[in-house]
């Protein structure tokens, strides 16, 4: 299956490829890179609304741009949470004033966002959040803790799911608040060190942090509906770009297997072919569901497919390396952080793929309840 690109789409591909070739640099600061993208209108191409300094592209050209971005080895994005999660949510649920205030800054790459959803004891079970927000005149005072907050150390703002109705439980009494992160003494960010030695995730503590009452998205008490709408935006053309990155990783594993002679092992060959075939299936599934609305199980199926696939690729990468894969690229010293090569980072980081973004168990529960109509799993009272 292919997407059916026209001659005009291929002309656009050349334009996108040329721009990325002229501007993408691996040594550029990530915030500087966001502003570079924004100045050329490349942020917000899939919003469906213009007027914020962004280009508006049809679905086919969004795919083209995402594919060329992945192929160009451009820097990792720091602004994708604001662009792909918050912005579509504001377009769907935000007031005209909220859209006018926040969308131009996201499109320009000037303001970076993080997502304040998961909490200790309320990760995949999002309805169990305990973070509270109390109205104080024109402000809310937010107190509580969020965890696994990606890029919080660099974010200017956080969209926070908090309980604004005292005594409310589960899905009731929740609101989505937009909270500025620059509040010393009221917001503390603590990096979480991962197996890879890096800290992409964080704990965030709110101690009376202020959020403007005008910055409640969708109105007070409607946070659950807004939050579920936001999670629906996590799938889209970005999954196709992700798969191009996966294909490049698989190519490196195949080359390593050939160089080391591991490819002569029929079991290794079978695993390599299986990884390739499953990646093609993921692409076909993504193309099949792209742009479709109302398919409650599609995001969960996609997450189950890529999470398990990427984890198995990490395991295969280490199998191809053999015993040497357990040795770091440099001699370890107690006084400095340990170093990993690319395959070791792939293996260790991919252990989290079946947990973050909703664990495999949660995805299967969603499919069982919302697609197959099986009886709902009993939930404890919070």
Which are the catalytic amino acids?
A: 234
Q: Among candidates 108, 202, 195, 110, which has minimal Cα distance to 153?
A: 202
Q: Could you tell me if 179 and 250 are in contact, meaning their C-beta atoms sit under 8 angstroms apart? A: no
Do the bridges between strand 174-180 and strand 157-163 make them parallel or antiparallel, or are there none, so unpaired?
antiparallel
Report the alpha-carbon distance of residue 312 to residue 23 in Å, rounded.
34
Name the nearest CA neighbour of 236 among 54, 84, 115, 91. Answer: 84
Phi, psi for 111 (deg, rounded to 5): -125, 125
* CA–CA distance, 280 with 1 (Å, rounded to integer): 10
CA dist 137 and 72 (Å) reads 50
Helices (H), 136-261: 223-232, 238-260
With vertex at residue 307, the alpha carbon angle to CA 306 and CA 311, rounded to the nearest 5 degrees, is: 110
Identify the CA nearest to 115 among candidates 347, 305, 380, 358. 358
């Amino acid at each position: 299956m292919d997407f059916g690109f026209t001659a005009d789409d291929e002309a656009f591909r050349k334009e996108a490829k040329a721009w990325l070739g002229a501007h993408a640099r691996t040594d550029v600061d990530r915030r500087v890179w966001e502003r570079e993208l924004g100045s050329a209108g490349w942020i917000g191409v899939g919003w469906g609304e213009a007027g914020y300094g962004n280009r508006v592209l049809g679905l086919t050209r969004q795919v083209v741009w995402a594919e060329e971005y992945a192929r160009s080895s451009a820097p990792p994005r720091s602004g994708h949470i604001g662009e792909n999660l918050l912005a579509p949510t504001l377009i769907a649920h935000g007031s005209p004033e909220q859209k006018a205030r926040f969308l131009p800054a996201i499109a320009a790459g000037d303001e970076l966002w993080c997502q304040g959803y998961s909490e200790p004891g309320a990760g995949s079970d999002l309805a169990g959040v305990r973070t509270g927000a109390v109205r104080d005149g024109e402000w809310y005072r937010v107190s509580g803790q969020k965890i696994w907050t990606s890029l919080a150390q660099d974010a200017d703002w956080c969209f926070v799911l908090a309980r604004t109705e005292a005594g409310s439980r589960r899905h009731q009494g929740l609101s989505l608040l937009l909270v500025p992160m620059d509040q010393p003494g009221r917001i503390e960010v603590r990096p979480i060190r991962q197996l890879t030695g890096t800290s992409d995730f964080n704990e965030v503590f709110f101690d009376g942090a202020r959020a403007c009452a005008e910055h409640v998205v969708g109105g007070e008490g409607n946070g659950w509906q807004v939050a579920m709408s936001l999670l629906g935006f996590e799938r889209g053309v970005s999954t196709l770009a992700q798969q191009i990155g996966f294909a490049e990783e698989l190519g490196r594993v195949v080359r390593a297997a050939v160089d080391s002679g591991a490819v002569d092992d029929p079991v290794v060959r079978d695993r390599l072919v299986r990884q390739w075939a499953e990646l093609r299936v993921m692409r076909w599934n993504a193309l099949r569901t792209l742009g479709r609305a109302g398919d409650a199980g599609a995001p969960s199926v996609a997450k189950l497919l890529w999470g398990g696939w990427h984890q198995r690729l990490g395991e295969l990468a280490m199998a191809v390396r053999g015993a040497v894969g357990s040795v770091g690229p440099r001699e370890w010293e107690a006084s400095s952080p340990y170093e990993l090569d690319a395959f070791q980072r792939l293996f260790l980081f991919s252990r989290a793929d079946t947990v973050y973004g909703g664990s495999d168990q949660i995805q299967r529960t969603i499919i069982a309840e919302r697609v197959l109509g099986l009886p709902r799993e009993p939930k404890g009272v919070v």
